[in-house]
Amino acid sequence: MRNPLIKRIPKELKGDFAKYIVLFTFITVMVGFISGFLVASGSMTQAYDESFEKYHIEDGNFELLYQADEALEEVFEQEKINLYENFYYDKETKDFESTIRIFQNREEVNLVCVMEGELPAKEHEIAIDRMYAENNGLEVGDVLEIGDKSLTTTGLVALSDYSALYESNSDMMFDALKFGVAVVTKECFDTFGEGGLHYSYSWNYDERPADDMEAKEKAEELLELIVEKAVITNFNPQYANQAIQFTGNDLGRDGMVMAALLYIIVVIIAFIFAITTINTITKEAMVIGTLRASGYTRGELLIHYLTMPILITIVSALLGNILGYTVFKDIAADIYYQSYSLPTYVTIWNADAFVKTTVIPVLLMLGINFVILANKLKLSPLKFIRRDLNPRQKKKAFRLNTRIGIMKRFRLRIIFQNMPNYIMIIVGIFLANVILLLGVAFPALLDKYQTDIASNMLAEYQYVLKAPLETENEGAEKYCVTTLETVDDKLRSEQVTVMGIAPESEFVDISFGKEEVYISDSYAEKFSLGKGDTLVMQAEYEDKEYQFTVAGVYHYPAGIAVFMEQEYFNEVFEYEAEYFNGYFASTEITDIEEKYIATKITEDDLTKTSRQLTHSLGSMMDMILVLGVVMYMMIIYLLTKIIIEKNAQSISMTKILGYTNGEISGLYVMATSLVVIGALALTIPLADRVMEYVCIWMLSEYSGWIPYYAPITAYLKMIMLGVVSYAIIAFTQYRKVKRIPMDMALKNVE
């Protein structure tokens, strides 16, 4: 026989349509958004993984000071390692400020994926990276001015070894705004001459390493062989190459963060459903008692009250997945393509995404509601008939001091009687504030970081030379520089710039004592170091370790750096007393040939991290901000709606006693207002603390360091958004109070 309780489900849906449509819409959009990201991430991850074989990506690369000779080539032949020339030039563009790295057309290794147009076939043609082109407003057919050449763009491409546009492997972040890669014909490449030519080589093993551990061992052995035969300036095995590996690591990390966000939101919604259903059970207590006395089992009633939340979750999750595979997938793909130079991808069915966005949310919804409702329905039929639903209910109300005004006491009573709902409001506001703070503060954090770097640069121009050369630039100051790697058990190894500073330097304001070493505040904060601590670092291309005692911390936000006196530097690294390999300068040095300059560092180089993160995450932060506001409004709207409905009979009675709608709203809406304002004041500092840990966790994965910062304006913006959003909700609840009739209290007198 068909269960007659089923007939109540459409009536219940119609009777509380506003609540269910809000929950349905929110779950659908959230599932669609996250499903779209998981599908796009999964599809792109598969395309990325397949690209290693499809495009014959290198097992590593290195750069030499001079072209490799036959002796080095024989070493590779003996070791059964394939060696490929992958020379390049770094050239400045004329029409806009950027550096473009130019390679020859690839035919054997690191092949090119053509996204639009075609590869160059003539001397005055060039194919450029798609993302670099989009960021700089370039299209197929445009003419690119590089040096004294005018090159016509024939295609937009993705270089398989530059899925993330890292100019240097030691950079904290890639830069797709002012750095790009391109390919030209051999005839065009040869016309650039030898000035500025980088002797870069790629290699592939005949037998590829089974894992990163074996790859590391092989790379270390190969490095020793190269060092014996040539002067090496750069060495990047594939497993440590940021330009290749960063994209794959980031794609996987996004999926975990998105899934965790969805689960948190589903748990909150599950509690909202449970509170809503408990409110319904309270209103229908006598009916439930009668049904139980008539023979209905506790299980049948439990299934009935579980049906609506599970049905809403299943339907919205399924619709969300459909939207995820259609609308949101393209949005997510566009965000990824704004950040990475990925090859073309094909959308694939993602079973893992379906489990994460449908199966797990439904199970969470079922589990939480089952536990809460089963506990509520275990009471005896007689208790339901008597409406005695709280076995721990006190015989007398909580006594309040009579010196408190009657209206204030009334509001306190409302708060105490609806405490579970208000606790959920506080928790919801806290989580919404965490999301809001990320959307509001992260852009400000990047702006502050960029401003700090610009105002605390060591010099307007900083040069690293391939050999000690003199300059006639009067303002130039010599210094020494090398690169070591950190040795730390908790954080991954990263490069440290070690500088030897001239005595009484005009650019670095440190008074060094004998054999004293200072570190940048970025180094100190990221690795939790301070005065008196011991630094342990190792040479990049040698089996040699260095230890220093920190004498102090120097404010230098641009990177992980160590400062020491020039004389001590040359002593530690075994150079001659007068050795130097760099200049600090206030004006550009023009009398040293480009081919002798290894690196030129300007403000643009130091601020690439903040520029790229702002560009990559700008649209994402806007979406997060909207999500935070919507989540905040949804939670407060639903829970305040429940509070008004739960107290509808009391509101009706106060109307009979002569209170106006404004006065009643001053009791019920004002009580909620006090809780919301108090929750905002209480949770913003807590959200700030949580966001600090989140940022530390997020940014510790990158090279370098960006200190956490949230300006006062971010908090003010959050408060303003919270107050304005709540004002809209309060107005809707005031209208709801007005619609409660006076006869409700008379109809429900027991």
Predicted pLDDT at 396:
55
Same domain, 570 and 706: no
What residue type is assigned to position 64 of the chain?
Answer: L
Residue 343 class from Cβ within 10 Å (0-12 exposed, 13-18 middle, 19+ buried)? buried
Which of 558, 575, 600 is a domain's end point? 600
Predicted pLDDT at 96:
85
Burial 234-264 (b: 16+ CB within 10 A, else e): bbbbbbbbbbbbbbbebbeebbeebbebbee
Nearest partner of 644 among 570, 739, 723, judged by Cα? 739
What residue type is assigned to position 722 of the chain?
Answer: G
What residue type is assigned to position 174 of the chain?
Answer: F
Same domain, 279 and 313: yes
Q: Is residue 297 part of a domain?
A: yes
What tens digit of pLDDT does each residue of 384-429 get? 887 777 655 554 556 766 677 777 777 777 778 777 778 878 887 8
Burial 344-356 (b: 16+ CB within 10 A, else e): ebeeeebeebbeb
| Neighbouring-strand partners of residue 81 | 205
CB 370 within 8 A of CB 161: no
Predicted pLDDT at 252:
62
Which residues touch 446 (CB under 8 Å, ≥6 apart)?
A: 610, 613, 614, 706
Predicted pLDDT at 442:
77
Structure tokens at 400: 């309040």
Greatest pairwise CA separation for the chain in angstroms: 103
Which residues touch 690 (CB under 8 Å, ≥6 apart)?
A: 434
Q: Is residue 616 part of a domain?
A: yes
H-helix segments, 647-750? 648-656, 661-699, 712-739, 743-747
Out of 82-86, 167-171, 522-526, 614-618, which region has the weakest mean confidence (pLDDT)? Answer: 614-618
Predicted pLDDT at 615:
65
Predicted pLDDT at 572:
92
Structure tokens at 681: 């004041």
Q: Is residue 318 part of a domain?
A: yes
Predicted pLDDT at 579:
92
Same domain, 551 and 652: no
Same domain, 527 and 614: no
Q: Report how far residue 621's alpha carbon sits from residue 318's, in angstroms, rounded to the nearest whole number.
A: 26
What tens digit of pLDDT does each residue of 311-345 get? 999 999 999 989 888 888 888 888 788 778 888 88
Higher pLDDT, 432 or 619: 432
Predicted pLDDT at 689:
87
Predicted pLDDT at 100:
92
What tens digit of pLDDT does each residue of 545-598 get? 899 999 999 999 888 899 999 999 999 998 998 899 999 999 988 888 877 787
Give the model's confidence band at 172: pLDDT under 50 very low, under 70 low, under 90 confident, else very high: low
φ, ψ of residue 553 in degrees (nearest 5): -120, 130
Predicted pLDDT at 507:
92
Q: Is residue 209 part of a domain?
A: yes
Higher pLDDT, 495 or 310: 310
Mean pLDDT in residue range 666-689: 84
Place of tokens 């269960």: 3
Q: Is residue 547 part of a domain?
A: yes
Evaluate if pTM is beyond 0.75. Answer: no
Higher pLDDT, 515 or 5: 515
Same domain, 541 and 589: yes
Instruction: State what percent of residues in the chain have pLDDT above 70.
Output: 91
Identity of the highest mean pLDDT range in 531-535, 634-638, 710-714: 531-535
CB 445 within 8 A of CB 708: yes
Q: Report how far residue 163's alpha carbon sits from residue 112's, in angstroms, rounded to the nearest whole number.
A: 11
Residue 44 class from Cβ within 10 Å (0-12 exposed, 13-18 middle, 19+ buried)? buried
Query: What H or E segment, with its residue span, contains residue 225?
Result: helix 212-229
DSSP state of 5: G
| Neighbouring-strand partners of residue 102 | 89, 182
Which of 187, 222, 246 is a domain's end point? 246
Taken in order 102, 104, 107, 109, the sign of the CA dihedral is negative
- If one counts every other C-beta atom within 10 angstroms of the C-beta of residue 69, the result is 11
Same domain, 609 and 553: no
Give the model's confidence band at 2: pLDDT under 50 very low, under 70 low, under 90 confident, else very high: low
pLDDT, averaged across the chain: 83
Same domain, 240 and 263: no
Same domain, 489 and 424: no
590 half-sphere exposure, CB direction, 13 A CA radius:
2
Which residues touch 682 (CB under 8 Å, ≥6 apart)?
A: 426
Whether the predicted pLDDT of 288 surpasses 90: no
Predicted pLDDT at 626:
79
Predicted pLDDT at 562:
94
Same domain, 220 and 146: yes
Give the model's confidence band at 126: pLDDT under 50 very low, under 70 low, under 90 confident, else very high: very high
Domain span holding position 468: 461-600
Give the model's confidence band at 677: pLDDT under 50 very low, under 70 low, under 90 confident, else very high: confident
Mean pLDDT in residue range 360-379: 88
Instruction: State what percent of residues in the chain have pLDDT above 90.
Output: 19
Q: Is residue 400 part of a domain?
A: no
Give the model's confidence band at 1: pLDDT under 50 very low, under 70 low, under 90 confident, else very high: very low
Number of structural domains in the chain: 4
Higher pLDDT, 154 or 394: 154
Same domain, 709 and 672: yes
CB 201 within 8 A of CB 85: yes
H-helix segments, 284-343? 285-293, 298-323, 329-339
Taken in order 636, 642, 646, 652, the sign of the CA dihedral is positive
Task: Determine the length of the chain.
Answer: 750
What tens digit of pLDDT does each residue of 488-538 get? 766 667 788 899 999 889 999 999 988 899 999 889 988 888 999 998 888
Whether the predicted pLDDT of 603 surpasses 60: yes
| Neighbouring-strand partners of residue 601 | 462
Which of 196, 227, 246 is a domain's end point? 246
Q: Is residue 399 part of a domain?
A: no
- If one counts every other C-beta atom within 10 angstroms of the C-beta of residue 139, the result is 11
What tens digit of pLDDT does each residue of 422-451 get? 887 888 788 888 888 878 887 888 788 888
3-state secondary structure of 512: coil
CA distances from 383 to 286, 287, 298, 387 (A): 9, 12, 14, 6
Give the model's confidence band at 83: pLDDT under 50 very low, under 70 low, under 90 confident, else very high: very high
Mean pLDDT in residue range 275-286: 80
Same domain, 358 and 465: no
Q: Is residue 74 part of a domain?
A: yes
Nearest partner of 79 among 206, 213, 237, 220, judged by Cα? 206
Residue 213 class from Cβ within 10 Å (0-12 exposed, 13-18 middle, 19+ buried)? exposed
Same domain, 64 and 116: yes
